[in-house]
Structure 1
């Protein structure tokens, strides 16, 4: 498992040639590819912990540890990096809106990770076909869409108002780099946008002085503040475990607590992770030419175990990263040895408190500019699942149950079950979507291409 065949005499492969998962170049070149993977995952991996109120340094540390855990479970057959998952961001916002703290957040996500691990075991023994029957593309696309679009108020109410002009300029920069830049540069557009926004905010502080706006810690009042505050950077150590307190007073490294209400809020994220992991494994299989279906269950289970492991210590949830698949697509180097180097680099960064201070100082306006794109992309990935799988919306079996679930989830509709238990937003929308779909999908073949409500109304 830890014996990689040296190919191309250890040199970079010529155009058109590839390096397989169990092959490698020289150790120096392999380490260089690992560094590229770190840069590719970097932006989103610490942005999402920040918007979830968790410690970004801890997230970077566990992204490295969990990547190693993932590679071990899949026997180095599936080259992937595990960065921070966005699937739970909206659910975390709902938990905090209902009075939950960071321990409640990590406890709920830990249970979701264990559920995903169980799904992985079932898929491993029953085969990947069971997934498509239980969660067909119509359903997974709808769930992913409502998770992404449910995040719109986070941008509108929290990040964007902190500095609207920095947010707008950061958005423009991110869109232009992601679309117009070529190759590797477009893959690290988020990291480049963070640097751009950081420098722009520093320039604005130097030229225009403080800005007056509402911040997450100002209790709803507009206050004058610097866009960038590096207080504590000089006192922070170069090397050490993540420490200190989060914004809600919970220690950065903490144990989870459990609530059924909060657990139900995050379980829809499991469906998104199943869709994401399945798509990523198949994308890797297409690139490498390997049959990875026998490892589909291992990949799902590994991600679930990794998410539970990180959450046990207060870390952020994990998932396989499309950014790193993009690096492989651009370089045609699929060596899992490079991912071990990437994981080691991430662990070193996670053990640098000075690095953590720099991350924590990212201005709210910069986060607003980045998340307005990221959250929208999460929603549109749901639409991409529909398009890629040619979901027929001329069939009311697909359109009508999804329509109900999407409006309930995105509109944050609630269902009061008891005085202490309420289903709302993503949880209610997902349950309604899945249940309604399976109530009527036995008519799918009969109604394919038939009339729909939309046609009747038009």
Structure 2
């Protein structure tokens, strides 16, 4: 009991999974568990790499400030983990469901578009309160697995053109990166096999650097970028036409979140 308490205290509320070095076949590291710190940090870095592109792609397409999106993605994730008391491991990033209404309302200006996003957020809070009061059976009745599964799959399929475009930009670097990810995932021993994305990104960067595949302007931009700064903030403006255009996104958000949470729960 004392050892367990000591382990939990040292892990900031997490207990050590097994010996912290190995995860047996068929086992899952639970939300209140962790591996050794180097392994935990490595998996965390992979998750950053996996989520970073999609989180930044939405503001890039819609013209919203990337740094502001990153800030509120972090704030939203922190609040989610606090509210769920760490029992649901999840990251809150950008949703591709917003691209269509934001693109359609571009002429109304960013303030009106932001008002639509805020309205969708408030509507989603109301949905949460209803589920809190009546139970999850409400969502299960309206969003059966065939619906949530299809929507989550379509989210991934909508990213396919972006992946194709990136692959065509530097096919050799992309092929080396993809090959490294597949080989590590399939042949990597133990935990290494679960870090395929992180290893693939490192291999791709090294290969690009050695072969001159890193564009000079990108290297310069990375070197000159500010490490610290305040994001761009603006006040929303609520226009009925934009709000009505954005509100249907709530249906997609509920479906994709239910799908994600069910998938994590099934693990």
* TM-score when normalising by structure 1: 0.44
Question: 1:239 matched to which residue of 2?
Answer: 228
Q: Give the direction of change, closer, same or farther, for the CA distance of 1:277–1:188 in structure 2 (3 Å limit).
A: farther
Asked if 2 retains the 8 angstrom alpha-carbon contact of 1:7 and 1:24, the reply is yes
Deviations 1:17-57 (A, max 9, x none): 33211122333432232222111211111112111211222
Q: Give the direction of change, closer, same or farther, for the CA distance of 1:106–1:35 in structure 2 (3 Å limit).
A: same
Asked if 2 retains the 8 angstrom alpha-carbon contact of 1:143 and 1:268, the reply is no
Larger mean CA deviation between 267-276 and 53-62 belongs to 53-62
| Aligned counterparts of 1:7 and 1:147: Cα–Cα separation in 2 | 33
User: Displacement, 1:238?
Assistant: 2.4
Deviations 1:179-226 (A, max 9, x none): x8253576579978x979x98xx85978xxxxxxxxxxxxxxxxxxxx
Question: 2:63 matched to which residue of 1?
Answer: 53
Aligned residues: 241
Asked if 2 retains the 8 angstrom alpha-carbon contact of 1:177 and 1:189, the reply is no
- Structure holding more helix per residue: 2
Aligned pairs for 1:430-445 (under 5 A) are none
Larger Rg: 1
Gaps of 5+ in 2: 1-7, 186-193
Question: 1:87 matched to which residue of 2?
Answer: 97
Q: Give the direction of change, closer, same or farther, for the CA distance of 1:271–1:145 in structure 2 (3 Å limit).
A: farther
User: Displacement, 1:92?
Assistant: 0.8
Question: 1:260 matched to which residue of 2?
Answer: 240
Q: Give the direction of change, closer, same or farther, for the CA distance of 1:101–1:267 in structure 2 (3 Å limit).
A: same
Asked if 2 retains the 8 angstrom alpha-carbon contact of 1:13 and 1:19, the reply is yes
Q: Give the direction of change, closer, same or farther, for the CA distance of 1:108–1:144 in structure 2 (3 Å limit).
A: farther
| Aligned counterparts of 2:195 and 2:243: Cα–Cα separation in 1 | 38
| Structure with greater contact order relative to length (CA < 8 Å, sep ≥ 6) | 1
RMSD between superposed Cα atoms in Å: 4.1
Gaps of 5+ in 1: 207-227, 243-251, 288-458
Q: Give the direction of change, closer, same or farther, for the CA distance of 1:78–1:137 in structure 2 (3 Å limit).
A: closer
User: Displacement, 1:112?
Assistant: 0.4
Question: 2:139 matched to which residue of 1?
Answer: 131
